[in-house]
Amino acid sequence: MINFITALGYAAGIITTVALLPQVVRILRTKQTRDISLVWVLAMTLGVALWLLYGIEKNDTAIIAANSITLMLFLIILFCKFRYG
């Protein structure tokens, strides 16, 4: 059975990951990234990658799952920033 703290981790991961989806969809639809700060995207991508490594080291499935998906989303934004920006 899943405990409260684990459920809390999954809930946080789902909410923060899903919150990024509208931005990614908008960028892919409009192909515009001029209002997205490159420094922000780079910092967030690095931060999420470090969280992913931390989750792997701690063997924490909630951290690994959320940050794997979030990292992919930030990499899409970063790719679009260089391609369309």
Q: Considering the domain 4-84 in this protein, what is its CATH number? A: 1.20.1280.290
Domain ranges of the chain: 4-84
Structure confidence at residue 85 (pLDDT): 80
Distance CA 65, CA 82 (A): 26
pLDDT of residue 31: 96
Name the pTM for this structure: 0.91
Contact call for residues 65 and 20 (beta carbons, < 8 A):
no
- Structure confidence at residue 53 (pLDDT): 98
Residues of the chain with pLDDT under 70: none
Closest to 71 in 3D by CA, of 39, 42, 38, 48:
48
Amino acid found at 78: L
pLDDT tens for 33-45 read 999 999 999 999 9
